[in-house]
Amino acid sequence: MDVISVQSLSKSFGSIQAVNELSFSVSQGEIFGLVGPDGAGKTTTMRMLTGIMLPDSGTIKVLGKEVGLHSKSVKDEIGYMSQRFGLYPDLTVMENLRFFADLYGVSRKERESATERLLTFSRLSPFKDRPAGKLSGGMKQKLGLMCALIHTPKVLFLDEPTFGVDPVSRYDFWQILYQLLKEQVTIFVSTAYLDEAERCGRVGFMHKGSLLTSDSPANLKKRMMEKILELELKENRRAAAFLQKEFGSRSVSVYGGRIHLAVKDYEKNSETALKLLHAQNIKVDAVRQVVPSLEDVFVYTLLSVEN
């Protein structure tokens, strides 16, 4: 069953086409991740899906209801956490939860059980009397999620929820999302972190308002016909410049002290790459073939469109 269904969605701001003919669907009880660089149109898409912004054209259905026609009833059944979730810094954790419970019209009986459950699985119980402004970044994000869940929504929209959050807090945040999946909550999340996208059931690559491709992380990796040659070396930027001239810019990605080179023929191309770098007096410490990461697939797909 499709909980979210989007057909030919478009939105412009003056001469800027923010979202262009976007179509996809999300099934009940899955995590769908929207991945793209800044300016790809992720936030604009999220705002249209939640009824905050009207599209220029196209249709959006959430829980079988067209968002433009039934925005009030749809909003009652969804949770939304924006990039800058509106917590009140002077209110405590408990006071913030009560405030959002009031906004959503949660009855006193329901909010007591919901609050206790949310505090427990977010591990915020010891901090329930602390002002939100004095929480760590990761705790603020968890509190923001708790406020979005206080009315027990069926669909949860999260716009880059862990941006700028430390790795441990990001891990905790995703553990909470996995618990929600067990309760059949459908989760739509945008993220700039490819390691987080790996955790999604399906992901969509978005670029300049368009959806380039969409599938499970495993299937997206299988679709990549190229082999990934990984080179460990110190002069990575200099080496990358020479490799881009030989193999093309879309085939070369730099990851710290490593270079990933997407090639058709591993044996032939690895020999060519090593000879090229040796001729430039660039020492390669190690070379190996590795399984493509989702980041490899994303970068290769993105550069294939741009070049």
The answer to the question of residue 301 being in a domain is no
Which pLDDT tens digit goes with each residue over 145-176?
Answer: 999 999 989 999 999 988 877 888 888 888 88
Question: Do residue 173 and residue 82 come from a single domain?
Answer: yes
Question: Do residue 169 and residue 44 come from a single domain?
Answer: yes
Q: What's the rounded Cα separation, in Å, for the pair 113 and 150?
A: 10
Selection from 183, 161, 192, 159 nearest residue 174 by Cα: 161
Question: Do residue 124 and residue 244 come from a single domain?
Answer: no
The answer to the question of residue 299 being in a domain is no
Angle between helix axes 93-103 and 108-122 (nearest 10 degrees) is: 140
Query: Last residue of a domain, which of 189, 205, 220?
Result: 220
Task: State how many domains the chain has.
Answer: 2
Give me the pLDDT at residue 84, please.
Answer: 74
Give me the pLDDT at residue 307, please.
Answer: 62
Give me the pLDDT at residue 303, please.
Answer: 73
Query: Last residue of a domain, which of 195, 220, 245?
Result: 220
Predicted model pTM: 0.87
Angstrom CA distances, 293 to 4, 171, 218, 221, 298, stand at 28, 19, 9, 7, 9
Give me the pLDDT at residue 104, please.
Answer: 87
Give me the pLDDT at residue 287, please.
Answer: 93
Angstrom CA distances, 109 to 71, 112, 113, 116, 249, stand at 26, 6, 7, 11, 60
The answer to the question of residue 160 being in a domain is yes
Per the structure, the complete domain to which residue 188 belongs is given by: 2-220
In this prediction, the residues of the chain whose per-residue pLDDT falls under 70 are 70, 85, 306-307
Q: Are 243 and 252 in contact (CB under 8 A)?
A: yes
Question: Do residue 27 and residue 52 come from a single domain?
Answer: yes
Question: In 3-state terms, what secondary structure has residue 278?
Answer: helix
Question: Do residue 91 and residue 109 come from a single domain?
Answer: yes
- State the DSSP H helix or E strand holding residue 196, giving kind and residue range, or none if neither: helix 194-197
HSE-up of residue 233 (Cα within 13 Å, Cβ side): 22
Question: Do residue 83 and residue 216 come from a single domain?
Answer: yes
CATH of the domain at 52: 3.40.50.300
Say which residues have a Cβ less than 8 Å from residue 153's Cβ, sequence separation at least 6. Answer: 77, 78, 79, 185
Question: Do residue 71 and residue 170 come from a single domain?
Answer: yes
The answer to the question of residue 8 being in a domain is yes
Which pLDDT tens digit goes with each residue over 233-292?
Answer: 999 899 999 999 999 888 898 988 899 999 989 899 999 999 999 999 999 999 999 989
Question: Do residue 79 and residue 104 come from a single domain?
Answer: yes
The answer to the question of residue 76 being in a domain is yes
Q: Are 131 and 155 in contact (CB under 8 A)?
A: no
Angstrom CA distances, 28 to 42, 46, 116, 149, 275, stand at 21, 18, 26, 17, 52
CATH of the domain at 280: 3.30.70.270
The answer to the question of residue 307 being in a domain is no
Amino acid letter, 31: I
Question: Do residue 195 and residue 244 come from a single domain?
Answer: no
Question: Do residue 113 and residue 239 come from a single domain?
Answer: no
Question: Do residue 119 and residue 30 come from a single domain?
Answer: yes
Selection from 156, 160, 33, 18 nearest residue 85 by Cα: 160
Question: Do residue 170 and residue 54 come from a single domain?
Answer: yes
